[in-house]
Structure 1
Amino acid sequence: MAKLVCVLYDDPAAGYPTSYARDDIPAIERYPDGQTAPSPKSIDFTPGALLGSVSGELGLRSFLESQGHTLVVISDKEAALDRELPDADVVISQPFWPAYLTAERIAKAPKLKLAITAGIGSDHVDLDAAIDAGMTVAEVTYSNSISVAEHVVMMILGLVRNYLPSHQVVVDGGWNIADCVARSYDLEGMHVGTVAAGRIGTAVLRRLAPFDVQLHYTDRHRLPESVERELNLTFHPSAADMVPHCDVVTINAPLHPETEGLFGDELLGSMKRGTYLINTARAKIADRDAIVRALESGQLAGYAGDVWYPQPAPADHPWRTMPDHGMTPHISGSSLSAQTRYAAGTREILESWLSGTPIRDEYLIVDGGRLAGAGAHAYSTTV
């Protein structure tokens, strides 16, 4: 029998919900590229429930314990995780609340065979170490890509239209229109570029096209000519080539050696003064202090995102207090709608692994001692 350690974020401060704002959520059967949504044999949760917190348990306990497996659910990513790892067969965590499976931790977990990301983005696992250890790394590919794309569009509009400060004027009892509009512009006619045009980046481009903007992208895999023509896209061979042309830049790339630290002083300095930068990908793609400097100098007109390093961000993290930001906790891919899909996908992966049948190729990041499936397309390693 297997021991599974599940690392999830804490329940709401007021306690686990007894009711929700809506009675149901739309059922998504297929994603835009035709991939089917997660399809486990069954589920033991109500779609639309809070599943990503400790009490939600990703809806897994009944399924696992009925087969004699042990499920340990924790929120402590340090001491408790280190205590549970040595005899763990499986670790499940989220990009929103990542269990950092470093090479050192993997070395101390001789039984560990499977790491599952409940969501997308497995850079919290040392992929080189996972390859060396013969582990499988899997994630629920596409489960919350559209959720993140919607969040990106919301943040772009929020920054460009100066929404958050204007809302605060109302909350504070004020009505000074000049204060609100002094930093408010129209998105129409602006040049918007995405760094990476995978599932999330392409979804962002599609959602922005009706705003009558000029769309740009860079990606190591060029999109089909038919898509470029349909969305009137301008392709650039690199981020350095693209960003000087843009009024808004959105980062939708995975974190790997080629992207870490990409947005530092040099690249930020090549952008138009007053550019808006959105990062819902990974915090380490941007240089923390360079972002602060660019906002303080006015080189950036705004920065928004929901990814931090480390997570959770400490109270004194400078991105909490830098000017003209629209930061949120890492929530873009953890809407209740998305949780239904990534919980179901986690169960689908476990059903396959526990029964000895192949895990969907779309879900694989590392398998058989190499990058595999979605991982081979999106990631690079140092080995």
Structure 2
Amino acid sequence: MVVTRHLLPSIEARLGELFDATFNQADLPLTHEQLVAAVQEADVLVPTVTDRIDAELIAAAGPQLGLIANFGAGVDHIDLAAARARRIIVTNTPGVFTDDTADLTMALIIGVPRRLREGTALIRRHEWTGWAPSVLLGRKLGGKVLGIVGMGRIGQAVAWRARAFGLTIRYHNRHRLPQAIETMFGAEYVEDLDTLLRDADIVTLHAPATEATRGMISAERIASMKPGATIVNTARADLIDYEAMIAALESGHLGGAGLDVFPQEPKVDDRLVALPNVIAQPHIGSATVEGREASGEKVIANIRFWADGHRPPDQVLEGLF
């Protein structure tokens, strides 16, 4: 087994006890050549979102590779069709980061309209001259429309939190949720994404990156949004045309953005860093001790089930093996 990134010590210790595991103590993303070497020798690969497991890499795998036990819920960095063709089982760790990501999303939903980045910068520059009735005026949340794009586990967790702040919840999803769930969250379904984007004061993205969703927040759709609207993205950078978003932020059409994901991580565009109305975080949506530990435990459980000849509980390619 090859584990591509440094995990929590308790998880690595357990993996080392149970399996013949090789760890990445440097905790830098493996190069393509190192990943090729790993899949040619390992029977189990434990990758993360920083590893591109594409068709070329899977084609280079040795016949012994039987399981890709992903650390994390998202699997858009893995070519699932190529894995299926090679009869390699893919598992993930769903559910463990739901609350953590929703908490960070809510922090951005609050922080951008209330200009928390600008206030913090003012204090750190020692330029604050005291309370004043017209300084750093933000926007209140109560009564504003929150548009949630993608109403899965995380989208629903955000809706639950946002309702307590008096936000009006509207959502767009591939399929409408049952009425009972809509009632629980006080959420209104909007079938047309363009309508949702035009009406929302704050848009938060919680869709996976697929062929259907990549670039869905396009230049045209950003232009159609309300002047002063906010975009929050803790999902995948591929969902947004970042060039168009930056232009809209610089022009003042968008009021701000809260971002935890970027197109060329770990690089962050200097224009985003310079904008005072952007709160940028280093992909920390799942960065809690509890969440990372729970994800590691799911990885261990999936490997143990597979090693014992059983179907892993979190198999992604359900029904195909």
1:163 aligns with 2:116: yes
Report deviation, 1:341: 1.0
Q: TM-score with structure 2 length normalisation?
A: 0.91
CA contact (8 A) 1:165 1:180 kept: no
CA contact (8 A) 1:146 1:203 kept: yes
Q: Secondary structure at the match of 1:192?
A: strand
Paired AA for residue 366 in structure 1: L
- Alignment partners' CA distance in 1, 2:85 and 2:236: 24
1:60 aligns with 2:12: yes
1:71 aligns with 2:71: no
1:129-163 CA-partner distances (Å, limit 9, x unpaired): 22222221111110111110011000111101001
1:115 aligns with 2:68: yes
Comparing 213-222 with 67-76, which one deviates more in the overlay? Answer: 67-76
- Alignment partners' CA distance in 2, 1:55 and 1:205: 31
1:72-112 CA-partner distances (Å, limit 9, x unpaired): 325333143233232222221233xx211011111111333
Which of 146, 163, 173 is the matching residue for 2:126?
173
1:282 maps to: 236
Distance 1:292 1:198, change over 3 A: same
Which of 53, 56, 73 is the matching residue for 1:104?
56
1:294 aligns with 2:248: yes
Which of 337, 347, 366 is the matching residue for 2:290?
337
1:314-358 CA-partner distances (Å, limit 9, x unpaired): 265654444521111111112112112111111111111111122
Distance 1:357 1:179, change over 3 A: farther
Report deviation, 1:65: 4.1
Distance 1:122 1:181, change over 3 A: farther
Which of 132, 135, 148 is the matching residue for 2:101?
148
2:198 maps to: 244
Distance 1:151 1:350, change over 3 A: same
1:366 aligns with 2:317: yes
Q: Cα RMSD (Å) of the superposition? A: 2.2
- Alignment partners' CA distance in 2, 1:91 and 1:180: 56
1:6 maps to: 3
1:191-244 CA-partner distances (Å, limit 9, x unpaired): 101001110000100101111121100111211112222332211113222111
Aligned-residue identity in percent: 27
Report deviation, 1:120: 1.3
Report deviation, 1:174: 2.1
Q: How does 1:158-237 map to 2 (within 5 A)?
A: 158-176=111-129, 181-237=135-191
Distance 1:150 1:126, change over 3 A: same
- Alignment partners' CA distance in 2, 1:354 and 1:317: 47
Report deviation, 1:119: 2.1
Distance 1:288 1:67, change over 3 A: same
Aligned length: 316
Paired AA for residue 2 in structure 2: V
Report deviation, 1:126: 1.4
Q: Secondary structure at the match of 1:84?
A: helix
CA contact (8 A) 1:77 1:100 kept: no
Distance 1:234 1:303, change over 3 A: same
- Alignment partners' CA distance in 2, 1:139 and 1:179: 51
